[in-house]
A and B are shown apart, each in its own frame.
Chain A
Amino acid sequence: MKRFLIALLLCTLPALPARAALDPALVKQLAAEDSDARIAAIQKLGTSGDPDVLKVLKALASDSLMVTPDGRVFLMPEDKAFDAATGAEIDPVPAEYDAITINNRIRSELDNAIAGLRLLNPDRAVRLAAARELQSDPGIELVPVMGKALAKETDAEIRHLLRFALDQANLASPDAKLRLAAVRALGHDASPTTRGLLLPLTDPANEADAAVRQAATASVKAIESRLAIGDTLGQIFTGISLGSILLLAALGLAITYGVMGVINMAHGELLMVGAYAAYFMQGVFRSHLPAYADWYVVAAIPVSFLASALVGMALECTVIRWLYGRPLETLLATWGLSLILIQAARVLFGAQNVEVGNPAWMSGGVEVMAGLVLPWNRIVIIGFTLFVLALVWVLMQKTRLGLFVRAVTQNRAMAGCVGVPTARIDTLAFGLGAGIAGLGGLALSQVANVGPDMGQGYIVDSFMVVVLGGVGQLAGTVWAALGLGVLTKFLEGWTGAVIAKIVVLVIIIVFIQKRPQGLFALKGRFVEN
């Protein structure tokens, strides 16, 4: 039964072009000897806006439009023939016929005409695709079709695309008034392509009309200033996004180094642990919960935090605890720990970088304005940074643990006297700093490579942020991270990435000479030690 239905459908499909006949004279002209006559016929058929023309023109484009020696034009998709003008089946197939061959000039005309016809198609997807195709170099002859389509079109996106194509086509219009209107309209756009389109019209060699030249110059200027704004905003955004990554990397360090005075060179490796925890969760979700694979990132938040926190507390209990008050020794010992962690990651997961994918809901971006697309993963990371900041603030200011940590920071002996278990607080505070590094590692896994060496690249940067912000100052860390991020991105625009990095390091070195205590220095007696 099913097979029969399909067979029936296949039989009826070619018969569908039973419709109101096209102008037989025009159809006949498609097979004319003279190219100009054929082009005229294509254009006339195209502007008619009749959807049935599409079939004929497509057949012409794919060499399946045939002509008999006596000038009868018919379609021959397979082994059956249909009259081009009426769509009626011709049986038997004519004994003698030839495919109508077309040259490149005709082909480009044909493509335009087909595009124009598709603009009037009832299916939105077809119209949208056609409008997209018209974005680059639409022919002037399509203006009437596009105008017609625009008048009928209700979809906002397609209207926008069409208007742009129409304006663009009108730039070549022989009518100076139309050109002027198009130039003015395009001045509201803000893309480098539009600028490229308008630029020739500012030159007297290409544009005779002074008014149009003037308008074109004004439009180019408007576009350029809008592009510059977009560019600057884009740089500020990437700067903030870089800053928030720096902040996530440095925030844990600000707790362990700034608040506790421990120089933790293994901090970068705690980031790595967090990133590998994300990788691990991705694997778990892919094999056990493939339906929710995109949400592994959310599940990884507590896992990354705990993994790094546990590693951090283990380090504190075994090594760092014995070195309080000896910062240089701590530095060397934690460097040794970082080497061990790196090698452990190599042995466990291999020396190569592992693949941690962005969930689908984090790919793509929002277009805020023309030429300025904000990628979702960056936006999510900025939001995540805010979340972590809030978390740290609540933990440090609103919980008993935070109170104890602050008490031990300010006066260890006195805190011990009033019953704060200082040793345990040290372990917990170190675990907190390490856990936040783990969250930083999770964020990094979404934008950077995950591999055994990944932490090494961040350790210098993180220290710079903490030192610049002022030791023991969480607020300073925030400003330092954002400032460094934005500064780096702006410098990169002028000098390239490597020089920008060097310049930033030199600026920090010079800055520390001037203000050894960082941006937000503690004043008074605290300054020496």
Chain B
Amino acid sequence: MRTPVTLRFLGMLTRTGWIALALFAAITLVLLPVLHVYVPHDNPLHVSNYVITLGGKIMCYAVVAVAMDLIWGYAGILSLGHGVFFALGGYAFGMYLMRQIGTDGSYHSTLPDFMVFLDWKTLPWYWTGSDSFLWAMFLVLAVPALLAALFGFFAFRSRIRGVYFSIITQALTYAAMLFFFRNETGFGGNNGFTDFRRILGYDITSPEMRSTLFALSSLMLMLTLLLGRWLMTSKFGRVLTAIRDAESRVMFMGYNPLHYKLFIWTLSAMLCAVAGALYVPQVGIINPSEMSTANSIEIAIWAAVGGRGTLIGPVIGAALVNLSKSYFTVAFPDYWLFFLGALFVMVTLWLPEGVVGLWKRIRNRGRA
């Protein structure tokens, strides 16, 4: 007997889950944007630029963390190269943002400033159509998806997994970073893209635009969570966890792990890319250091801190780590790396199931 889709959809989350989601939506989609745009600056209820930008940034990171959870927590594939998909999404949308500057750059040319600086006369072929918003959206999804699908196909087909896979994804993002650092690659070299002016003709720094991007990030995060929940409570999710736990057995039962892994891997890369595209206009810069190996490993720690295989855990983890990063790098700049390093060690040694696991353990002890 098949469950109707609507019932299946509603049954994805518990009653508390739906209420929490609705509450989150009410706060991030309505309350905070309204407080930011319509409440005057001197009012204590006004939400500052800083809060909106930080919040939007963290929600983008949370999407990446959930994408990481989909492949690491559920499929057991630890990617140390997810930064490359995030950055590619950012670059794809950044191209559009660069074109939107128009002739307002320092050289008043129709070309982006860095191309004038390199003495290029025309746009390179791969910038064709970059002034179209729709094409930019298409690139945001298509380029990372293509890279992920190609890379994943070859890697999973030769049954590369575990640490091997982690290390070659690290090599992938490292190679990509070196490639984007070159000025001749045509993406602004080590300065990357910055100095954005507008999106679809609207000022990028206006409170309305900030609020819109903030709300979009929140919407993206909620959709990602729901999509993840939908997938992982379906048969597909069950097969995936089975592959994680005993790949050979799943193969002997007649499933081809390649298709499952490839699908979730590509999906995860695309989610990262969308998060990257939302991230870039909010922070106002994208450069190759987003592809550094350190950044990609940090994504893994967000998921680990929150708790792998829980979907909500990585969101909490991303928020916790990045909030403490914002605090530490201002208050004790010398100690942030000590803290982050200790976090890596402590979570792996004592909190293998993350904050969510800890919470469950405490609750169970209370019941027993």
8 Å CB interface, B304-357 against A: 304, 334-335, 337-338, 340-345, 347-349, 352
Asked if B170 and A339 make an inter-chain contact with CB atoms under 8 angstroms apart, the answer reads no
- Known contacts A336-B341, A336-B343, A498-B178; is-contact A319 B349 (Cβ 8 Å): yes
Among B88-96, B160-168, B196-204, B232-240, the stretch that binds chain A is B160-168
CB distance from B170 to the nearest CB of A (A): 6
A317 to chain B, nearest CB (A): 13
Q: Which of A50-66 contact B (CB under 8 A)?
A: none
* B156-201 with Cβ < 8 A to chain A: 157-160, 162-164, 166-168, 170-172, 174-175, 178-179, 181-182
For A336, give its contact among B164, B179, B182, B345 (CB under 8 Å): B345
A347 to B336, CA, bound (A): 12
| Inter-subunit contact B172/A460 (CB<8 Å) | no
Q: Are B179 and A513 in contact (CB under 8 A)?
A: no
Whether the Cβ atoms of B166 and A509 lie closer than 8 Å is no
Secondary structure call for the A interface: helix
On whether the beta carbons of B164 and A467 are closer than 8 Å, the reply is yes
Selected from A322, A332, A346, A509, the residue in CB contact (under 8 A) with B344 is A332
Contact of B300 among A263, A332, A338, A340 (CB under 8 A): A332
State A410–B94 Cα separation when bound (angstroms).
Answer: 52
Tell me the nearest residue of chain A to B340, going by C-beta: A339
Chain A nearest CB from B340 CB (Å) reads 6
Point out the residue from A338, A339, A340, A509 that lies within 8 Å of B171, measured CB to CB: A509
A327: chain B residues at CB < 8 Å are 162-163
- Among residues 293 to 341 in chain A, which have CB atoms less than 8 Å away from a CB atom of chain B? 319, 322-323, 327-333, 335-340
Whether A263 contacts B163 by the Cβ 8 Å rule is yes
Contact of A460 among B78, B162, B170 (CB under 8 A): B170
The answer to whether A343 and B163 touch across the interface, beta carbons within 8 angstroms, is: no
Set A329, A338, A501: member contacting B175, Cβ < 8 A: A501
Q: In the complex, what residues of B have CB within 8 A of residue A343's CB?
A: 334-335, 337-338, 341
Contacts of A265 in B (CB 8 A): 297
* Whole-angstrom CA separation of A11 from B175 in the bound complex: 74
Residues of B contacting A333 in the complex (Cβ-Cβ under 8 angstroms): 344-345, 348-349
CA distance A505 to B293 in the complex (A): 14
Residues of chain A lying within 8 A (CB to CB) of residue B344? 332-333, 335-337, 339
Whether A506 and B337, one on each chain, are in contact in the complex, defined by CB atoms closer than 8 angstroms, is no
Q: Is B155 an interface residue (CB 8 A)?
A: yes
Q: Are B334 and A347 in contact (CB under 8 A)?
A: yes
Q: Provide the bound-state CA to CA distance between A459 and B344, in Å.
A: 18
Q: In the complex, A307 Cα to B143 Cα: how many Å?
A: 46
Contacts of B348 in A (CB 8 A): 323, 329-330, 332-333, 336
Q: Is there contact, CB below 8 Å, between A463 and B167?
A: yes
Chain B minimum-CB-distance residue to A503: B175
Closest A residue by C-beta to B347: A332
Q: How far is the CB of A466 from chain B (nearest CB, A)?
A: 9
Q: Contact: B349 with A460, CB < 8 Å?
A: no
Does A506 contact B175, Cβ atoms closer than 8 Å? yes
For B39, what are the chain A residues with a Cβ–Cβ distance below 8 Å?
none
Closest chain B residue, CB of each to CB of A515: B158
CB of B255 within 8 Å of the partner chain: no
A332 CB to closest chain B CB, in angstroms?
5
Q: How large is the interface on B (under 10, 10 to 19, 20 to 34, 35 or more residues)?
A: 35 or more
A514 on the B face (CB < 8 A): yes
The verdict on B154 contacting chain A, using a C-beta distance below 8 Å, is yes
B342 lies within 8 A of A460 (CB): no
User: Which residues of chain B come closer than 8 Å to A339, judged between CB atoms?
Assistant: 337-338, 340-341, 344
Nearest to B177 among chain A residues (CB) is A502
Partner of A505, one of B78, B158, B174, B181: B174
Name the residue of chain A whose CB is nearest to the CB of B294. Answer: A456
Q: Which residues of B contact A328 (CB under 8 A)?
A: 78, 162-163, 166
Separation of A330 and B304 alpha carbons in the complex (Å): 13
Question: Judging by beta carbons under 8 Å apart, are B174 and A467 in contact?
Answer: no
Q: How far is the CA of A501 from the CA of B175 in the complex (A)?
A: 7
In contact, A332 and B171 (Cβ under 8 angstroms):
no
Closest to A315 in B: B345
Residues of A within 8 A of B294 (CB): 456
A106 within 8 A of B: no
Candidate in A328, A344, A467, A501 with the most chain B CB atoms within 10 angstroms? A328
Contact code string B17-50 (vs A, CB < 8 Å = 1, else 0): 0000000000000000000000000000000000
Asked if B115 is at the interface of the complex by the 8 Å CB criterion, the answer is no
Contacts of B334 in A (CB 8 A): 343, 346-347
The answer to whether the Cβ of A521 comes within 8 Å of any Cβ in the partner chain is no
- Interface core residue of A265, A329, A335, A502 (most chain B CB under 10 Å): A335
CA distance A512 to B345 in the complex (A): 30
In the assembled complex, A26 has its CB within 8 A of some CB on chain B: no
B366 → chain A closest CB, angstroms: 28
Asked whether B78 lies within 8 Å of A502 as measured between CB atoms, the reply is no
Bound-state CA distance A500–B179 (Å) is 10
- A514, closest chain B residue (CB): B158
Contact of A337 among B164, B172, B181, B341 (CB under 8 A): B341
Q: A323-B348, A513-B154 are in contact. Are A336 and B340 (CB under 8 A)?
A: yes
Give min CB distance, A320 to chain B, whole Å: 10
Point out the residue from B159, B300, B340, B349 that lies within 8 Å of A516, measured CB to CB.
Answer: B159
Q: Is A505 within 8 A of B171, CB to CB?
A: yes
Q: Decide if B98 is an interface residue (CB 8 Å cutoff).
A: no
Residues of B within 8 A of A143 (CB): none
Q: How far is the CB of A380 from chain B (nearest CB, A)?
A: 29
Q: Any chain B CB within 8 A of the CB of A342?
A: yes
B52 on the A face (CB < 8 A): no
Interface membership of A464, Cβ < 8 A: yes
Q: Does A22 contact B (CB under 8 A)?
A: no
Cβ–Cβ contact A505 & B342, under 8 A = no
- Write out the residue numbers on chain B whose beta carbons fall within 8 Å of the beta carbon of A510: 154
- A508, CB-defined interface residue at 8 Å: yes
**Alpha-carbon distance A328/B304, docked complex (angstroms):** 11
Complex interface: chain B residues within 8 A of A335 (CB): 297, 344
5 residue pairs bridging A and B, Cβ less than 8 Å apart:
A328-B78, A339-B338, A498-B182, A509-B168, A512-B168
Q: Which 3 A-B pairs have the closest CB atoms?
A: A336-B344, A339-B341, A340-B341
Beyond the given pairs A331-B78, A456-B294, 18 more chain A to chain B contacts, judged by CB atoms under 8 angstroms and listed by A's residue number, are A327-B162, A328-B163, A330-B348, A333-B348, A333-B349, A335-B297, A336-B340, A339-B337, A339-B338, A343-B338, A460-B171, A498-B178, A501-B175, A505-B174, A509-B171, A513-B155, A516-B159, A516-B164
